[in-house]
């Protein structure tokens, strides 16, 4: 009986060792969610390959021996959030002459607006003033409620790239921003979730057809990652996988069908999406 118990304990330890090893690393971990044929799974990115994991980054997980090349898989929206929040006016360069808000100003984007790296932003037929907005996006790692600022990063799995597509005419004239910010395809995110970075000191760049349109460091956010997570958790319980867009810097301009939008976030990668016009 003792031998059996000892064998069981050893087997359990060996089973969780890969997960424990990753958790104890202080380096960067890059996750993705992908499809290969009928398989949908999370993986750890290793160079130009993805190693499938059992479980998810939001709970116990371990690596497997299954490797895929990035070119042979379809990258998906990197997680499946129950809710998507976004921060308005979080860079002084975007506020212009307006005074910064004393606390993060949050609004909702619909989870159905999310699209993955490589998918198209679709401009609805009844708007002609749709803009890009390059942003760092927070990925919540575990349930957070009334979290103090000093502990807020413990609830963050990592970050990803985001593009808060915005129909300015609707944003200006509608009472709410539900369609201006949350219309289908208005939330490109990806390609990866990365943990272990200094989230408040990363270069954020927006390119349209290869031309740089926005470029600023995330240290210039009015409210940093920890402050945003803490404030949001006072009023809304944040669940694993929930996303929070953190605001965009500088000025933005309208996009048009045929454009290629690229959001690059230092240490994370490049989120690339085309633009098309919806048919009536």
Mind listing the pLDDT tens digit for each residue in 144-187?
999 999 999 999 999 999 999 999 999 999 999 999 999 999 99
> What is the CATH number assigned to the segment(s) 25-76?
2.30.30.370
* pTM for this entry: 0.90
- Decide if pLDDT at 204 tops 70: yes
What fold does the segment set 84-277 form as a domain?
A: Fumarylacetoacetate hydrolase; domain 2 (3.90.850)
Name which of 3-7, 83-87, 180-184, 205-209 the model is least confident about.
3-7
Instruction: Please report the pLDDT score of residue 7 as a whole number.
Output: 43
Domain boundary assignment for the chain = 25-76, 84-277
- What DSSP line would sit under the chain, residue for residue? -HHHHHHHHHHHHHHHHHHHHHHH--S-EEEEEEEETTEEEEEEEETTEEEEEEE-TTS-EEEEEEEEEGGGSEE--S---S-EEEEES-BHHHHTTSPPPSS-EEEEE-GGGEE-TTPPEEE-TT-S-EE--EEEEEEE-S-BSS--GGGGGGGEEEEEEEE--EEHHHHHHSSS-HHHHHSTT-EEEEEEEEESS-TTS-EEEEEETTEEEEEEEGGGBSS-HHHHHHHHHHHS-B-TT-EEE----S---B--TT-EEEEEETTTEEEEEEEEEPP-
């Amino acid at each position: 009986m003792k031998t059996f118990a000892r064998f069981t304990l050893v087997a359990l330890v060996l089973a969780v060792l890969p997960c424990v090893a990753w958790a104890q690393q202080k380096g960067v971990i890059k996750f993705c969610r992908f499809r290969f044929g009928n398989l949908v799974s999370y993986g750890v990115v290793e160079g130009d390959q993805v190693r499938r994991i059992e479980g998810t980054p939001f709970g116990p997980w371990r690596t497997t021996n299954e490797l895929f090349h990035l070119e042979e898989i379809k990258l998906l929206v990197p997680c499946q959030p129950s809710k998507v929040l976004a921060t308005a006016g979080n860079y002084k360069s975007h506020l212009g002459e307006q005074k910064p808000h004393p606390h993060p100003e949050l609004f909702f984007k619909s989870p159905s607006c999310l699209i993955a790296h490589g998918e198209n932003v679709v401009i609805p037929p009844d708007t002609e003033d749709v803009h890009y907005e390059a942003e760092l996006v927070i990925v919540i790692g575990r349930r957070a409620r009334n979290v103090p600022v000093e502990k807020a990063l413990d609830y963050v799995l990592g970050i990803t790239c985001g593009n808060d597509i915005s129909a300015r005419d609707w944003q200006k004239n509608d009472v709410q921003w539900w369609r201006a910010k949350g219309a289908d395809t208005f939330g490109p995110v990806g390609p990866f979730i990365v943990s272990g970075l200094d989230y408040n000191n990363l270069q954020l760049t927006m390119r349209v057809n290869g031309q740089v349109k926005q470029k600023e460091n995330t240290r210039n956010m009015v409210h940093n990652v920890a402050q945003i997570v803490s404030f949001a958790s006072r009023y809304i319980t944040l669940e694993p996988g929930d996303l929070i867009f953190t605001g965009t810097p500088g000025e933005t301009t309208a996009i048009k069908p045929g454009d290629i939008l690229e959001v690059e976030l230092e240490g994370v990668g490049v989120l690339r999406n085309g633009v098309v016009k919806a048919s009536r």
